[in-house]
Amino acid sequence: MTEKEKALIEAKANILKALGHPTRLWMAEQLAGGEKCVCELAENINADFSTVSKHLTVLKQAGVVEVDKRGKQVYYRLKVPCILNFMPCVEAVLQATAQSHIELMDQKRPIGQIDAV
Amino acid sequence: MTEKEKALIEAKANILKALGHPTRLWMAEQLAGGEKCVCELAENINADFSTVSKHLTVLKQAGVVEVDKRGKQVYYRLKVPCILNFMPCVEAVLQATAQSHIELMDQKRPIGQIDAV
DNA sequence: TGCACATTTGGTCGTTTTACCATACGTCAA
DNA sequence: TTGACGTATGGTAAAACGACCAAATGTGCA
């Protein structure tokens, strides 16, 4: 792996990492409906303003959102909206995992007691 | 936000977080080419076997990969291959960020010294 | 049975992350 | 200009993460 490839992987991982926190993912999803000011985001989750601000900074540094200061308020919006197109597949992973769990449960189901499957 | 919605967000964030590490993202990309045993993954990166194993465990727990033990070896494969369809958009984020940087540089460019853009 | 190999697990330690508090900053209105 | 408001930043403590080492587990072969 070249240095360049390595840097690319790190950059991409960083974006995924930025979205890999419940609060930040929630924020990104909120922004899918259009830009929001910090206050709008903050009042919808149970967190300190400074915490919200820091999460938004993480998203901004990752390049996921961009900022627009207008008057006293700061508006954030998705920079590259396709970022949320990913969610259906993420949900598919959850489904698949749930499915595995179900299958696991099936194996344990006392009815039938089938050994060979 | 209901408890259920909260749990869903957390589950999704957990998947993104799992992919949000350079080594794990690299592994996922490797597995896009088909299943690989731990040894194959380990020999391609400069890391301890135990480190590789632990990263794979994280991916497995997130539901991103699944395991198949055959003989002495353990094979991992993507459970939901669409997980990597996301990458073009992630790269678009990088591009957009790079673009911003370029624009930023443009503003600083001494040639012309244009104030109003 | 016992060894060798492939992988996992447990432990430790330094680093990073995160939430909260207090405080600073910038903008608008009076 | 001053105060109030919206947001960002700095500091701190607790928790989570990540890398490495050592040791355990499981599997196939001699």
Q: What is the pLDDT of residues A46-70, one digit of tens each?
A: 889 999 999 999 999 999 999 999 9
Q: CA of B86, closest CA in chain A: separation in Å?
A: 6
pLDDT number for residue A1? 82
Taking CB atoms and an 8 Å limit, are B19 and A25 in contact across chains? no
pLDDT at residue number A4: 87
| Distance separating alpha carbons of residues A73 and A41, to the nearest angstrom | 12
Domains of chain A with bracketed CATH: 3-80 (1.10.10.10)
Q: State the maximum Cα–Cα separation within chain A, in Å, rounded to a whole number.
A: 69
Q: Which residues of chain A have pLDDT under 70?
A: 100-117
Question: Angle at the Cα of B67 (from B62 to B72), degrees rounded to 5?
Answer: 145
CA distance A50 to chain B (A): 21
What would the pLDDT profile of B42-56 be if each residue is shown by its tens digit?
999 988 999 999 999
Tell me, what's the pLDDT at B101? 64
Report CA(A109)–C1'(C18) in Å, whole number.
41
pLDDT digits (tens, 9 = 90+) for B8-43: 999 999 999 999 999 999 999 999 999 999 999 999
